[in-house]
Amino acid sequence: MQYASFMIRQKRVEMNWSQEGLCKGICTASYLSKIEQGKAEPSDDVLMLLFARMGIEWKTAEHSSDGKMVEEAYEFLLSGETDRLKELVCDPEWKRYENSPWGLDYLLLSQCASENPQPIEEALEVCMNQMQLALQRSLQGRWEESIHLYPCGYFYVSAGLCRYHQGNVTKAMELLQTANELACQEGNARIMLFARITMGSCYSNLQDYPSMLSHYQAARRLASALGAIEEVEGISYNIAATQIELGQYEQALDYFERRQDQSALSLHKLAICYEKLNQRQKALETLDQAACLEQVLPEHAEAKICRVVRLRLTNEHYLDSEEYGQALMDCFETCKRSLPAGYCIFHLPWMLQWYEYHRQYKCAYELLQDFPEYRIKK
């Protein structure tokens, strides 16, 4: 069914108009019925008159520049250029596609560019082609269906990212490997970059340092070639964070001390480096610095993470402290709800330390069921 046909019927019903009332002087009621059922393809003039009667300015292909901006938007999306996609949908000209033959593309791509993307109404799915339906499925989080409908690097890397954030590292790496191969065939360097970075992060979660470095080094070369400065910095951050997990505190300290743009999370890791190297005062000063950041509120994960470190630093017998135990559990649950699984894995040693110290071996066992790769490694 055409999008225009669907919209005519939907708007007419919303306005509680009869077919005869809408089409009088424009076409016959029987012809309008066929239009609404998708059995007739009306001319641009008829469409414009029907929509105009309902107070809607319908843009024809001529008025919408033949969909050139839509083509650009799809190119930006599928090549991973999200910043350019966001700029395009903020262009006043983009609004011209809302009531046009490209209305579905307008709705879907606008959601893809938003900060909190949501699927569009399911009733519109009868009007969608495979590409549009794949986008809808991705917005619904139904990634396996999206890659079946439109197998390309973008959908595979998005599915891999989703699985990675859920903690399913094995499935994530399978999807990301396919994403990398498809992106290479498509010539989509940014999709290759995202796939390589996330594969590196998967191996970081598994604490497989050599494999992690292999993917991160490839990603760093791609990022440098693309001028993706933030991604280059993110790779360095992830490597240093993994060094902390592996007990390489001096190497990690070198990075976190030199880091220019300090966030609450980076200061948290710097404090841990100082903690592990028995530089308690520096660790506390670093946590004070994190607490002064305006964007960090007590209920945020970043604040809870830092509080757990502070409690360890200020109480030599923290494992006997109920306050520490409650703070640790609260921190871990917040990480599970709001952050990728890697943050939970980062805090697993302290969780296991607490359970083992209190002889809560069943709790430790049950916790490890959620992180099978970590359990195998241990």
Secondary structure (H, E, C), the chain: CCHHHHHHHHHHHHCCCCHHHHHCCCCCHHHHHHHHCCCCCCCHHHHHHHHHHCCCCCCCCCCCHHHHHHHHHHHHHHCCCHHHHHHHHCCHHHHHHCCCCCHHHHHHHHHHCCCCCCCCCHHHHHHCCHHHHHHHHHHCCCHHHHHHHCCCHHHHHHHHHHHHHHCCHHHHHHHHHHHHHHHHHHCCHHHHHHHHHHHHHHHHHCCCHHHHHHHHHHHHHHHHHHCCHHHHHHHHHHHHHHHHHCCCHHHHHHHHHHCCCCCHHHHHHHHHHHHHCCCHHHHHHHHHHHHCCCCCCCCCHHHHHHHHHHHHHHCCCHHHCHHHHHHHHHHHHHHHHHCCHHHHHHHHHHHHHHHHHCCCHHHHHHHHHCCHHHHHHC
Cβ-contact 119, 111 below 8 angstroms: yes
What's the CA gap between 354 and 367, in Å, rounded?
12
What's the CA gap between 368 and 378, in Å, rounded?
10
Say what the pLDDT of residue 341 is. 85
From first to last of its 378 residues, what are the pLDDT tens digits of the chain? 789 999 999 999 999 999 999 999 999 999 999 999 989 989 989 999 999 999 999 987 665 557 889 999 999 999 999 999 999 999 999 998 999 999 999 999 999 999 999 999 999 999 999 999 999 999 999 999 999 999 999 999 999 999 998 888 999 999 999 999 999 999 999 999 999 999 999 999 888 999 999 999 999 999 999 999 999 999 999 999 999 999 999 999 999 999 988 899 999 999 999 999 999 999 999 999 999 886 767 778 899 999 999 999 999 999 999 999 999 999 999 998 888 888 998 999 999 999 999 999 999 999 988 887 664 444
What's the CA gap between 348 and 205, in Å, rounded?
11
Say what the pLDDT of residue 374 is. 64
Identity at 61, one-letter amino acid code: A
288-311 b/e with 16+ CB inside 10 Å = b?
eebeeeeebeeeebbbbbbbbbbb
Say what the pLDDT of residue 349 is. 93
At 314, phi and psi to the nearest 5? -100, 0
Say what the pLDDT of residue 63 is. 57
What's the CA gap between 167 and 46, in Å, rounded?
53
136-171 b/e with 16+ CB inside 10 Å = b?
bbbbeebbebbbebbebbbbbbbbbbbbbeebbbeb
Token pair recorded at residue 48: 């414009």
Token pair recorded at residue 267: 């200061």
What's the CA gap between 51 and 22, in Å, rounded?
9
Say what the pLDDT of residue 378 is. 42
